[in-house]
């Protein structure tokens, strides 16, 4: 099974000239936890931002709920908070390689790309779905497989 077989190709992206506020709005609107960032100049993959990154930079309502803090958050350039040069994988790599890469690097999503052209994304949720498929009783496994 290859990454191409399981990757999500309908990926919401932002360009690197956008702001943290725009990323937060996209994540909230779509429910997606990871947003690849593309170059506004050549549409090549340059980074990724996650819902955890957004939460980390969001102003705390306990400490600073001022209008200025909210405005600073919303206007922060993505390039200041995104993970640049993200880890990628090719579409013809195995799912096992993708899982190993994600585990070894402690990341929740792996961007699928060729020459920095974004093709899709594979997430922890995708990997769990694959595991569920493999462990289904209809796959010939019995209760002993879970011991």
Residue 147: which pLDDT band, with cuts at 50, 70 and 90? very low
Cα–Cα distances in Å, from 29 out to 11, 12, 59, 94? 13, 11, 19, 32
Name the average pLDDT for the chain: 88
pTM comes to: 0.84
**Per-residue confidence (pLDDT) for residue 128, from 0 to 100:** 93
Domains and CATH numbers, the chain: 3-146 (3.10.580.10)
CA distance 104 to 13: 25
Decide if 48 contacts 12 (C-beta within 8 A).
Answer: no
**Per-residue confidence (pLDDT) for residue 98, from 0 to 100:** 97
**Listing from the earlier edge strand, what are the strands of the sheet with 117-123?**
88-89, 109-114, 117-123
Residue 139: which pLDDT band, with cuts at 50, 70 and 90? low
């Amino acid at each position: 099974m290859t990454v191409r077989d399981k990757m999500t190709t309908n990926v919401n992206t932002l360009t690197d000239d956008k702001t943290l506020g725009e990323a937060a709005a996209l994540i909230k609107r779509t429910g997606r936890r990871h947003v690849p960032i593309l170059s506004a100049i050549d549409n090549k993959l340059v980074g990724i931002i996650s819902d955890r990154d957004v939460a980390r930079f969001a102003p705390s309502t306990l400490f600073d709920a001022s209008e200025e803090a909210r405005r600073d958050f919303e206007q922060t350039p993505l390039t200041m908070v995104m993970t640049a040069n993200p880890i990628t994988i090719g579409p013809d790599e195995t799912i096992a390689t993708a899982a190993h890469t994600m585990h070894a690097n402690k990341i929740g999503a792996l961007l699928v790309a060729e020459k920095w052209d974004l093709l899709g994304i594979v997430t922890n949720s995708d990997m769990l779905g694959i595991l569920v498929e493999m462990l289904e009783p209809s796959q010939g496994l019995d209760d002993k497989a879970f011991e």
